[in-house]
Amino acid sequence: MTKFSFKIVNNRSDESQLHLLLTSASSSGLEGIGLGKSTSVADFFSSNPSHSFSAEKLVGSRLYVGYGAMPPAPDPNSNQYYGWIEFSRNPDADKGVWLNLSNVDIVGLPLALSGKSADHGSPFSLGYKKPVRDIIADMKTRALTRQDPAVVKDCGGGRTKIVAPNIQFPFYREYDDYLNALTTAGAALAIKTDTPIGQTPKTFTGAFSKGRYQDLPDTGPILALTSGSDTFQILKNQFTTQYLYRCDGGTIIFNGATLPQNRPDNAGQDVSAVTTNSLFRNLCIGVNEGYFTADGRNDSTMFSSDKPFANGQGNVYARIIHETSNSYGFPYADANLKTLLVAAVDSPIVLTILSDDAAGGFQS
């Protein structure tokens, strides 16, 4: 079976302090690195002359790079300085290696990726347009409403990381004013679902509940959508700043049943889960990327042609990440901000550990 490989390039000088941690939900044929075991970059390089590792299968995987031994599940709220990539390849189903950079939880140690595209064989790169030190400075002045050790982490050695709003939402702009503009207008909505296996997608239409946001009852619906006999609602207290930044954690109401905002869909076969998951996802995208307006069409099929963050609304943290990197800035950035790609398996994927004062790998 064909293997794919990662080659590690270190542009920082402290290989003995830097550690790697590979995690995966399912793997086979792994060589060159242990799974779930923190390994210093110095030891990895000394035991692998090619500075590479390979595998036949790594599904639902992350590769972390950080200072000091990495715990099994690195904590965004800790003072450890790290970054990570996400990737997945199931040889039974995937043409190549699904791949992305992530800043969903933190802005920390910067990484870049390069390789060959599985789709057309052309080279690709994912990285940073600006040094991470400049990005962190932007976050402090543009994204944070106030600074605090809970969100601005001194990691020692002159290294600082910022914890993202999906983890530390109290330090970022609330969505109350944005939601007030939408509810005061009773703004219309047209949200298209994904396609369940053997089914067709549906378009749900409706509107935000009309009235001043602060006057709407917490346990009443903030929006209601219908498609034929199907009904979808979200209560005001389940569509708050916290849930919108996290894109998870609350509930929706579908055909009268209260359900989690995100739930397993049995590989696309659970029609109800595919429907509600994708409706909620598109609502989160509309708010976080600032597409919804008081008098707009607010049609999710238009997101791909709309300019994100154009009306001054949305997730400022995600906006800065989008402006300065090829990386996720919030959980659903892959849907419309084009941060996810598929790498070829017949060419090494190169992961470069960048220094904090250097950009690298950014591709428009």
CB 119 within 8 A of CB 99: no
Does residue 32 surpass a pLDDT of 80?
yes
Q: Is the pLDDT of residue 17 over 90?
A: yes
Residue 1 has pLDDT above 80, yes or no: no
Q: Which residues does residue 18 pair with via DSSP β-bridges, in sequence order? A: 67
Mean pLDDT of all residues in 180-184: 98
Report the amino acid identity of residue 10: N
- Kindly state the average pLDDT of the residues 131-152: 98
Q: Torsion angle of alpha carbons 174, 180, 183, 184, nearest 10°? A: 180
**Has residue 124 got a pLDDT over 90?**
yes
pLDDT computed for residue 12 by the predictor: 96
**C-beta separation of 128 from 359 below 8 A:** yes
With bands split at pLDDT 50, 70 and 90, how would you rate the model's confidence at 334?
confident
Contact 350, 123 (CB under 8 A): no
Per-residue b/e over 292-315, b at no fewer than 16 CB within 10 Å? bbbebebbbeebeebebbebebbb
Q: What is the mean pLDDT of residues 80-108?
A: 97
Average pLDDT, the chain: 96
What pLDDT is recorded for position 250?
A: 98
Per-residue pLDDT, 337: 83
pLDDT at 120: 87
Whether pLDDT at 165 is above 80: yes
Assess whether pLDDT exceeds 90 at residue 203: yes
Q: pLDDT value at position 339? A: 84
Report whether pLDDT(136) > 80. yes
Strand order in the sheet with 160-163: 106-107, 160-163, 152-154
| pLDDT (tens digit per residue) in 268-288 | 999 999 999 999 999 999 999
Lowest mean pLDDT among 167-176, 259-268, 328-337: 328-337
Q: How confident is the model at residue 23 (pLDDT cuts 50, 70, 90)?
A: very high
Work out the pLDDT band at 364, boundaries 50, 70, 90.
confident
- CA dist list (Å): 6 to 22, 27, 346: 12, 15, 11
pLDDT at 113 over 90: yes
- State the burial class of residue 40 (Cβ atoms within 10 Å of its Cβ: 0-12, 13-18, 19+): middle
From 4-8, 38-42, 151-155, 334-338, the region with the lowest mean pLDDT: 334-338
Q: Is the pLDDT of residue 335 over 80?
A: no
Query: Domains along the chain?
Result: 4-172+316-353 (2.60.110.10), 176-302 (no CATH)
pLDDT of residue 13: 87
Percent of the chain with pLDDT over 90: 95
Among 13-17, 24-28, 82-86, whose mean pLDDT is lowest?
A: 13-17
Q: For residue 213, is pLDDT > 90?
A: yes
Average pLDDT over residues 191-196: 97
CA distances from 237 to 67, 116, 210, 349 (A): 39, 45, 16, 44
What is the structure's pLDDT at 336? 78
Q: Which two tokens stand for residue 22?
A: 């590979």
